[in-house]
Structure 1
Amino acid sequence: MSIDRSYVVEDVMRRWPATIRVFLDFRHACVGCPIATFHTIEDSCREHRTAEAPFLAALREAAAKPQEVLSPGG
């Protein structure tokens, strides 16, 4: 499943935790923001004046990578 511009920011970060780094790299202050619970990717790009296409591409790339599994104790 591909991330779409209509997806809610918090849902994206919860489902694909690796995307959090993308939000930070693009200087979107969405991590921990209460607005992330109802703002879409489209809203976030508009608010932070980011071109949607490269942002979505970066989100999709991060989401496609295998999730790192941490073992207890390290």
Structure 2
Amino acid sequence: MEKITKEMTIKEIAQKYPETASVFIDLGLYCFGCPIAQVETIEEMAKAYRFDLKKILEDLNKTIKTKKNK
């Protein structure tokens, strides 16, 4: 099963799983093409914005699992 991990960059996730855009938008993050998104991992982003990393990963993985099951 494919899974999004904390080591993946925002760009990598957005390109491989475009359906996850809604999760980022719900967090108030709209800049998938920003230079920092090219290299920033989900873990780094969560630390920078003080988001719950575990919750973000759960939401992202739930989104890709739901899409895959359709």
Alignment deviations for residues 12-45 of structure 1 (CA, whole Å, 9 cap, x no partner)? 0000001111011012344222100000000111
Query: What is residue 23 of structure 1 aligned with on the other side?
Result: 24
Greater share of residues in helix: 2
**What is the root-mean-square deviation of aligned Cα atoms in Å?**
1.4
Q: TM-score, normalised by structure 1?
A: 0.80
Q: TM-score, normalised by structure 2?
A: 0.84
Q: Given that residues 16 and 63 in structure 1 are in contact (C-alpha distance below 8 angstroms), is that contact kept between their aligned partners in structure 2?
A: yes
List runs of 5+ in structure 1 lacking aligned partners.
Answer: 68-74
List runs of 5+ in structure 2 lacking aligned partners.
Answer: none
Tell me which structure has the larger Cα radius of gyration.
1
Q: Given that residues 7 and 41 in structure 1 are in contact (C-alpha distance below 8 angstroms), is that contact kept between their aligned partners in structure 2?
A: yes
- Write the letter of the residue equivalent to 2:62: E
Percent identity over the alignment is 27
